[in-house]
A and B are shown apart, each in its own frame.
Chain A
Amino acid sequence: AQSVAQPEDQVNVAEGNPLTVKCTYSVSGNPYLFWYVQYPNRGLQFLLKYITGDNLVKGSYGFEAEFNKSQTSFHLKKPSALVSDSALYFCAVRDYGETYKYIFGTGTRLKVLA
Protein backbone atom coordinates (compact mmCIF):
# COMPACT_ATOMS: atom_id res chain seq x y z
CA ALA A 1 0.00 0.00 0.00
CA GLN A 2 1.09 3.54 -0.66
CA SER A 3 2.23 5.56 2.31
CA VAL A 4 4.14 8.65 3.32
CA ALA A 5 5.95 9.41 6.54
CA GLN A 6 6.86 12.73 8.06
CA PRO A 7 9.21 11.84 10.89
CA GLU A 8 9.19 15.23 12.61
CA ASP A 9 6.13 16.61 14.37
CA GLN A 10 7.72 20.03 14.61
CA VAL A 11 10.68 21.83 13.09
CA ASN A 12 12.06 25.05 14.54
CA VAL A 13 14.33 27.29 12.51
CA ALA A 14 15.59 30.85 12.88
CA GLU A 15 14.44 33.43 10.37
CA GLY A 16 16.92 33.71 7.51
CA ASN A 17 18.26 30.20 7.97
CA PRO A 18 17.61 27.38 5.52
CA LEU A 19 14.80 25.00 6.38
CA THR A 20 14.11 21.36 5.58
CA VAL A 21 10.92 19.43 6.24
CA LYS A 22 11.36 15.71 5.72
CA CYS A 23 9.14 13.24 3.89
CA THR A 24 9.71 9.63 2.89
CA TYR A 25 7.38 7.54 0.80
CA SER A 26 6.51 3.99 -0.12
CA VAL A 27 4.73 3.39 -3.42
CA SER A 28 4.15 0.80 -6.09
CA GLY A 29 5.39 2.14 -9.35
CA ASN A 30 6.33 5.73 -10.08
CA PRO A 31 5.28 8.16 -7.36
CA TYR A 32 3.21 11.29 -7.71
CA LEU A 33 4.37 13.39 -4.75
CA PHE A 34 3.00 16.63 -3.39
CA TRP A 35 3.56 19.20 -0.68
CA TYR A 36 0.77 21.25 0.83
CA VAL A 37 0.76 23.97 3.47
CA GLN A 38 -2.03 24.75 5.92
CA TYR A 39 -2.45 28.01 7.79
CA PRO A 40 -4.71 28.18 10.88
CA ASN A 41 -8.40 27.57 10.18
CA ARG A 42 -7.80 27.21 6.47
CA GLY A 43 -7.74 24.41 3.94
CA LEU A 44 -4.56 23.08 2.46
CA GLN A 45 -2.73 25.05 -0.22
CA PHE A 46 -0.72 23.40 -2.96
CA LEU A 47 3.02 24.16 -2.87
CA LEU A 48 4.61 21.87 -5.42
CA LYS A 49 4.55 18.44 -6.98
CA TYR A 50 6.82 15.84 -8.52
CA ILE A 51 5.56 13.57 -11.26
CA THR A 52 8.52 13.11 -13.55
CA GLY A 53 11.55 14.99 -14.79
CA ASP A 54 14.08 16.98 -12.79
CA ASN A 55 14.62 15.78 -9.27
CA LEU A 56 14.62 19.35 -7.95
CA VAL A 57 11.14 20.80 -8.10
CA LYS A 58 10.45 24.48 -7.53
CA GLY A 59 7.16 25.64 -6.12
CA SER A 60 5.29 28.52 -4.57
CA TYR A 61 6.67 31.05 -2.05
CA GLY A 62 10.30 30.11 -2.75
CA PHE A 63 9.94 26.48 -1.67
CA GLU A 64 11.55 23.59 -3.48
CA ALA A 65 11.71 19.86 -2.97
CA GLU A 66 14.23 17.25 -3.93
CA PHE A 67 13.07 13.87 -5.16
CA ASN A 68 15.52 11.10 -4.23
CA LYS A 69 14.51 7.75 -5.62
CA SER A 70 17.23 5.72 -3.93
CA GLN A 71 16.32 7.10 -0.51
CA THR A 72 12.58 7.27 -1.31
CA SER A 73 12.51 10.80 0.01
CA PHE A 74 10.92 14.06 -1.03
CA HIS A 75 12.16 16.68 1.40
CA LEU A 76 10.82 20.22 1.30
CA LYS A 77 13.39 23.00 1.43
CA LYS A 78 13.75 26.74 1.42
CA PRO A 79 17.06 28.63 1.38
CA SER A 80 15.97 31.40 3.74
CA ALA A 81 13.03 30.98 6.13
CA LEU A 82 10.51 33.72 6.87
CA VAL A 83 8.38 34.08 10.00
CA SER A 84 5.35 33.95 7.68
CA ASP A 85 6.38 30.42 6.63
CA SER A 86 5.26 29.18 10.04
CA ALA A 87 2.46 26.73 9.31
CA LEU A 88 1.57 23.04 9.08
CA TYR A 89 3.12 21.20 6.14
CA PHE A 90 1.82 17.99 4.61
CA CYS A 91 3.48 15.60 2.24
CA ALA A 92 1.17 13.48 0.07
CA VAL A 93 1.34 10.69 -2.48
CA ARG A 94 -1.24 9.78 -5.02
CA ASP A 95 -2.71 6.36 -4.43
CA TYR A 96 -2.17 3.65 -6.99
CA GLY A 97 -4.58 3.07 -9.82
CA GLU A 98 -7.24 5.05 -11.59
CA THR A 99 -8.19 7.10 -8.62
CA TYR A 100 -7.77 10.60 -7.33
CA LYS A 101 -7.28 9.53 -3.76
CA TYR A 102 -4.24 10.95 -2.05
CA ILE A 103 -2.54 9.72 1.07
CA PHE A 104 -1.22 12.36 3.42
CA GLY A 105 1.51 12.30 5.98
CA THR A 106 0.79 13.28 9.55
CA GLY A 107 2.03 16.80 9.03
CA THR A 108 5.01 18.78 10.33
CA ARG A 109 4.55 22.03 12.13
CA LEU A 110 7.16 24.54 11.06
CA LYS A 111 7.96 27.35 13.45
CA VAL A 112 10.21 30.12 12.20
CA LEU A 113 11.63 32.19 15.02
CA ALA A 114 12.34 35.90 14.60
Chain B
Amino acid sequence: KAGVTQTPRYLIKTRGQQVTLSCSPISGHRSVSWYQQTPGQGLQFLFEYFSETQRNKGNFPGRFSGRQFSNSRSEMNVSTLELGDSALYLCASSEGGGYGYTFGSGTRLTVV
Protein backbone atom coordinates (compact mmCIF):
# COMPACT_ATOMS: atom_id res chain seq x y z
CA LYS B 1 0.00 0.00 0.00
CA ALA B 2 1.07 3.59 -0.51
CA GLY B 3 3.27 5.18 2.11
CA VAL B 4 2.96 8.51 3.86
CA THR B 5 2.97 11.31 1.28
CA GLN B 6 4.14 14.80 2.10
CA THR B 7 3.85 17.74 -0.23
CA PRO B 8 5.66 19.75 -1.27
CA ARG B 9 9.13 18.22 -0.87
CA TYR B 10 10.90 21.55 -0.93
CA LEU B 11 9.73 25.06 -0.18
CA ILE B 12 11.42 28.44 -0.03
CA LYS B 13 9.57 31.23 1.72
CA THR B 14 10.35 34.76 2.79
CA ARG B 15 10.38 35.84 6.41
CA GLY B 16 6.92 37.00 7.47
CA GLN B 17 5.04 34.83 5.01
CA GLN B 18 2.94 31.86 5.94
CA VAL B 19 3.14 28.29 4.69
CA THR B 20 0.92 25.21 4.61
CA LEU B 21 2.32 21.70 4.45
CA SER B 22 0.30 18.64 3.59
CA CYS B 23 0.44 15.03 4.71
CA SER B 24 -1.52 12.04 3.48
CA PRO B 25 -1.20 9.09 5.88
CA ILE B 26 -1.26 5.44 5.06
CA SER B 27 -4.79 4.28 4.36
CA GLY B 28 -6.43 3.19 7.60
CA HIS B 29 -4.09 5.13 9.85
CA ARG B 30 -6.07 7.58 11.94
CA SER B 31 -3.19 9.10 13.89
CA VAL B 32 -0.97 11.71 12.26
CA SER B 33 1.93 13.41 14.01
CA TRP B 34 4.22 16.20 12.95
CA TYR B 35 7.86 16.73 13.87
CA GLN B 36 10.36 19.45 13.17
CA GLN B 37 13.92 18.31 12.55
CA THR B 38 16.87 20.66 12.73
CA PRO B 39 20.58 19.91 13.12
CA GLY B 40 20.75 21.65 16.47
CA GLN B 41 17.51 20.51 18.11
CA GLY B 42 17.00 17.08 16.64
CA LEU B 43 13.43 15.82 16.31
CA GLN B 44 10.96 18.07 18.07
CA PHE B 45 7.33 17.01 18.44
CA LEU B 46 4.85 19.52 17.07
CA PHE B 47 1.44 17.92 17.44
CA GLU B 48 -0.58 14.76 16.99
CA TYR B 49 -4.05 14.37 15.53
CA PHE B 50 -6.41 11.47 15.87
CA SER B 51 -9.79 11.37 14.19
CA GLU B 52 -9.70 15.12 13.48
CA THR B 53 -8.87 16.01 17.10
CA GLN B 54 -5.59 17.37 18.35
CA ARG B 55 -4.53 15.08 21.18
CA ASN B 56 -1.05 16.34 21.89
CA LYS B 57 0.87 19.51 21.30
CA GLY B 58 4.56 20.20 21.69
CA ASN B 59 6.24 23.34 22.94
CA PHE B 60 5.95 25.49 19.86
CA PRO B 61 4.50 28.98 19.58
CA GLY B 62 0.96 29.57 18.40
CA ARG B 63 2.28 30.41 14.92
CA PHE B 64 2.38 26.65 14.39
CA SER B 65 -1.00 25.08 13.90
CA GLY B 66 -2.49 22.05 12.28
CA ARG B 67 -5.63 20.22 11.45
CA GLN B 68 -6.82 16.84 10.30
CA PHE B 69 -9.62 16.15 7.88
CA SER B 70 -12.21 13.41 7.91
CA ASN B 71 -10.14 11.35 5.47
CA SER B 72 -7.20 11.55 7.96
CA ARG B 73 -5.16 13.83 5.73
CA SER B 74 -3.45 16.51 7.75
CA GLU B 75 -2.07 19.97 7.18
CA MET B 76 0.20 22.09 9.27
CA ASN B 77 0.44 25.84 8.96
CA VAL B 78 3.16 28.20 10.06
CA SER B 79 2.34 31.88 10.05
CA THR B 80 4.70 34.84 10.19
CA LEU B 81 7.69 32.75 9.24
CA GLU B 82 11.01 33.33 10.96
CA LEU B 83 14.48 32.34 9.81
CA GLY B 84 14.60 29.80 12.63
CA ASP B 85 11.65 27.93 11.16
CA SER B 86 13.92 26.57 8.44
CA ALA B 87 13.85 22.83 8.99
CA LEU B 88 12.78 19.45 7.71
CA TYR B 89 9.15 18.90 8.69
CA LEU B 90 8.25 15.26 9.04
CA CYS B 91 4.81 13.74 9.14
CA ALA B 92 4.23 10.29 10.57
CA SER B 93 1.15 8.14 10.69
CA SER B 94 0.28 5.25 12.94
CA GLU B 95 -2.44 2.67 13.25
CA GLY B 96 -2.04 2.87 16.99
CA GLY B 97 -0.98 0.74 19.86
CA GLY B 98 2.62 -0.41 19.69
CA TYR B 99 2.95 -0.30 15.94
CA GLY B 100 5.16 2.75 15.82
CA TYR B 101 5.27 5.32 13.08
CA THR B 102 5.57 5.31 9.35
CA PHE B 103 7.23 8.52 8.25
CA GLY B 104 6.93 10.52 5.10
CA SER B 105 10.02 11.83 3.32
CA GLY B 106 9.47 15.29 4.76
CA THR B 107 9.13 18.83 3.52
CA ARG B 108 12.32 20.87 3.53
CA LEU B 109 11.34 24.45 4.38
CA THR B 110 13.86 27.22 3.88
CA VAL B 111 13.00 30.70 5.14
CA VAL B 112 15.05 33.53 3.63
Q: Which residues of B contact A107 (CB under 8 A)?
A: 42-43
Residue tally, chain A, CB below 8 Å to B: 24
Chain B proximity mask over A9-52: 1 for CB below 8 Å, otherwise 0: 00000000000000000000000101010000111111001010
Chain A proximity mask over B81-104: 1 for CB below 8 Å, otherwise 0: 000000000101010101011111
Closest A residue by C-beta to B58: A101
A73 interface contact, C-beta 8 A: no
Partner of B48, one of A44, A49, A101, A104: A101
The distance in angstroms between the C-alpha atoms of A104 and B35, with both chains bound, is 10
The distance in angstroms between the C-alpha atoms of A92 and B103, with both chains bound, is 13
Chain B proximity mask over A85-102: 1 for CB below 8 Å, otherwise 0: 000001010110001111
Q: Chain B, interface size: which category?
A: 20 to 34
Q: Verify B100–A46 contact, CB threshold 8 A.
A: yes
Q: Verify B102–A46 contact, CB threshold 8 A.
A: yes
Closest A residue by C-beta to B39: A107
Number of cross-chain contacts by CB at 8 Å: 63
Q: Verify B98–A49 contact, CB threshold 8 A.
A: yes
Chain A proximity mask over B7-42: 1 for CB below 8 Å, otherwise 0: 000000000000000000000000101010000001
B55 interface contact, C-beta 8 A: yes
The distance in angstroms between the C-alpha atoms of A42 and B43, with both chains bound, is 13
Q: Verify B33–A100 contact, CB threshold 8 A.
A: yes
User: B residues near A, CB below 8 A?
Assistant: 4, 6, 31, 33, 35, 42-43, 45, 48, 50, 55-56, 90, 92, 94, 96, 98, 100-106, 108
